[in-house]
A and B are shown apart, each in its own frame.
Chain A
Amino acid sequence: MSTVKVITGNHAASFGARDSRAEVIAAYPITPQTQIVELLSEFCADGTLKAKFIKVESEHSAMAACIGASAAGVRAYTATSAHGLALMHEMLHWAANGRHPVVMANVNRAMGPPWSIWTDQNDSLAQRDTGWLQFYCESNQEVYDTTMIAFKACEQVLLPGMLVLDAFILSHTYEPVEMPDQELIDEFLPPFDPPYKMDLDDARAFGALTTPEWYMELRYLIQEAHEKALVTVREVEKEFGETFGRYYGTLELYRCDDAEEVILIAGSTASTAKDAVDIMRKGGRKIGLARIKLFRPFPNEEIRDIASRVNKMIVIDRNVSFGNQGIFFNEIKASLYSAKNRPPVYGFVAGLGGRDMKIDDITGIVEQADTCDIEEILWWGVKL
């Protein structure tokens, strides 16, 4: 029997890791993530979860311990946020380049200084090029579900995966989360069985020195694995949907069938933007929404497909690449350059450092896109 619990996004992540039967959890506390590993440490202490909980002195060590566990052939999990993720940076490369499918929850929190604990996406997007899959979640249910989707997909392509949830808006907000029967989950997500693992009877060097003659080939294999991951994630999402009745997809389309313009957005703000779409539709605008669930690998074809059907795209970025523009805005335009149909794309930077993103903000952005100059970098709501 499935059960429904009313829990925070953080605890949805903990239950997701528990029900995915993570075998090693290594973590260091950081607001707003701490509750994820706090509950997991309780599960390990009371025997609910048969896993080794490793207390470490930093996030760098947490990821290092997870990599070691994964290399030894066990399912490893951790969680972090903002500065903790930044401290892990070196080990993020190591996990991906070593092909260790560690799964991690990152609670999106703005980078300091000034000190902030509220949400924006700059922490996870700064890790774009480390080779990790990145899943942006919209609800607590999706956080729970995506944990097992990520483990299954990542273990198939031998790449690590980061599921991302917004600080406080999801991490500390209670929502009902349905948890399926463990037997069904075990059927969906069998034990981790990598093709290579540390084995005393067949001792090998991991991450051995590789000369310029072969380094590039190993990098090419990672690119290939990412391209495969796009297909794998869709297949795993589909299987998850068939088994448990919830389907998300890599680029979720909302009211896009007859849409003439579309909002592109990631994270929990997509929920608010969906309400804004409903309101604007009542007012006569043929508007839809495309939610970027998967950022790496990037769903280029789906972006081009929706672009070919609309007259205008509006990208809302809760992040910024200083000296250029919003990161999703940038990526989406790169995706469209080789497309036949390229509608104008407007980019807005909004909601940094956890500034509220309400329905009025979304409708305001859409209205401003009617009249603004496409070349402008638009900072929504900034006090000038």
Chain B
Amino acid sequence: MSEAKFRGAHDLPPCSISVTHELTKTGNWRNSKPVFHKEKCIQCGICWKVCPNACIKLGEYPEWDMDYCKGCAVCAEECPKDAIEMEDERVMV
């Protein structure tokens, strides 16, 4: 969604329904990212269900929208098969 779509109040939906998070790409807040191990996945969909930012897309296997994934690790925590692992993304200077 391009930011040019939003010029003023009337371009917005009536409330903050994800469209406003399209204005704020929360992915750049992330400290760690989910790493997916396909061989362990049993396609239960729990990760998709628990993602608080609705940024997991459920096809045959889950896919993360890294523009919005904040790295909260709820998916990794809830995965019953440990198919999701969090990897530190911080850059040390």
Contacts and interface: CB of A to CB of B under 8 A. Distances in A.
B23 A205 contact: no
Contacts of A214: 6, 12, 20, 23
Contacts of B53: 205, 208
Nearest to B11: A217
Nearest to B54: A203
A45 interface: no
Interface string B21-58: 10110100000000000000000000010001110000
Interface stretch (A218-226, A260-268, A371-379): A218-226
B16 interface: yes
Grouping DSSP codes into helix (H, G, I), strand (E, B) and loop, the A interface class, with mixed when no group exceeds half, is loop
Interface residues of A, number: 23
Given A204-B54, A205-B17, A213-B23, 19 more contacts: A98-B15, A99-B14, A195-B13, A196-B15, A203-B54, A204-B18, A205-B21, A205-B52, A208-B17, A208-B53, A209-B20, A210-B20, A210-B21, A214-B6, A218-B16, A221-B9, A221-B10, A221-B14, A224-B9
B13 A196 contact: yes
A209 B54 contact: no
Nearest to B15: A99
A146 interface: no
A209 B14 contact: no
27 contacts: A98-B16, A99-B15, A158-B14, A195-B13, A196-B15, A203-B48, A204-B18, A205-B17, A206-B18, A207-B15, A208-B16, A208-B17, A208-B53, A209-B24, A209-B26, A210-B16, A210-B24, A211-B23, A211-B24, A213-B23, A214-B20, A217-B9, A217-B12, A218-B9, A218-B12, A221-B10, A221-B12
A122 interface: no
B17 A196 contact: yes
